[in-house]
């Protein structure tokens, strides 16, 4: 029988008082529950401090990959499962994680998610299975700090594994919440694209491709009105990111159009 391998469940927070308690409860099986907070003022810290066995650390936020790498360094165990505050670990996923790390064959593992968006569990439109690389061996995995949005993990041995157990993700409860987060994502994407030349025709072609990818290729039409609405909004935010990058340019100067391209999709 394989020796038991300890796991850290790591959560990055900022003003997550409405989520953090239930999130940490779903990770109570982990050997360590680590919360890395970036300055919450809404009761998140009080809730974490009131929960037995939760370790609370603080760090100013710069971007997601730097914050996640900081959590990897802080973790007490080599195996780390990243859980977002608005996610819940299902019992099936918890059991699979504990079994997997005892005889791991990969440095990192993807986890599928059930996404609750505007009151509906999405099955298409790019939100299922929505694999996220979240179970990592911190000795052999790091987040790429050159990619600030929709973080990318670099593995020492670059073939990942896939788990069958799910996160449950309560990510967008209202349309306003969805739009606020997409504005933030598009602003971060625009900063990334500043030094990449853009063609004028891409201002129209890229949003069109994003809509077709979501609604047709990823079968958003099967999610009914939700699929149509979200495909349209994501196409708009792809356009918004390009316009902001074009206006700002490198070092805040207007950017000239050129031959390069950048993609502003929302995975």
Sign of CA dihedral 61, 62, 63, 67: negative
39-61: average pLDDT: 97
Would you say residue 248 has pLDDT above 80?
Answer: no
> What would the DSSP string read from start to end of 144-203?
-TT--SS--EEESS---EE----EEEEEESSHHHHHHHHHHHHHHHHHHHTTS-B-TTHH
Evaluate if pTM is beyond 0.95: no
Range(s) within the chain of domains with CATH label 3.90.550.10: 7-171
Give the pLDDT confidence of 24-49 residue by residue, as tens digits: 999 999 999 999 999 999 999 999 99
Rg of the Cα trace of the chain?
A: 19
DSSP 8-state class, residue 3? P
CATH no., domain 7-171:
3.90.550.10
Supply the pLDDT for residue 181: 86
């Amino acid at each position: 029988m394989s020796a038991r391998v300890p796991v850290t469940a790591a959560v990055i927070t900022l003003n997550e008082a409405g989520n953090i308690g239930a999130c940490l409860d779903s990770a109570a099986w982990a050997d360590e529950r680590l919360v890395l907070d970036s300055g919450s003022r809404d009761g998140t810290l009080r809730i974490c401090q009131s929960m037995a066995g939760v370790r609370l650390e603080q760090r100013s936020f710069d971007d997601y990959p730097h914050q996640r790498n900081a959590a990897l360094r802080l973790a007490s165990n080599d195996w780390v499962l990243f859980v977002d505050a608005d996610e819940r670990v299902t019992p099936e996923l918890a059991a699979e994680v504990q079994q997997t790390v005892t005889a791991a064959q990969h440095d990192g593992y993807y986890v599928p998610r059930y996404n609750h968006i505007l009151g509906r569990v999405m099955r298409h439109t790019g939100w299922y299975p929505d694999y996220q690389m979240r179970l990592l061996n911190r000795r052999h995995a790091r987040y790429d700090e050159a990619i600030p949005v929709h973080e990318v993990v670099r593995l020492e041995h670059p073939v990942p594994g896939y788990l069958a157990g799910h996160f449950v993700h309560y990510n967008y409860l209202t349309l306003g919440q969805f739009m606020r987060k997409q504005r933030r994502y598009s602003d971060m994407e625009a900063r990334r694209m500043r030094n990449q030349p853009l063609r004028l025709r891409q201002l129209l072609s890229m949003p069109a491709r994003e809509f077709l990818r979501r609604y047709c290729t990823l079968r958003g039409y099967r999610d009914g009105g939700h699929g149509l609405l979200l495909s349209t909004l994501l196409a708009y935010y792809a356009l918004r990111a390009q316009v902001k990058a074009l206006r700002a340019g490198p070092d805040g100067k207007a950017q000239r159009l050129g031959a390069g391209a950048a993609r502003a999709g929302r995975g």
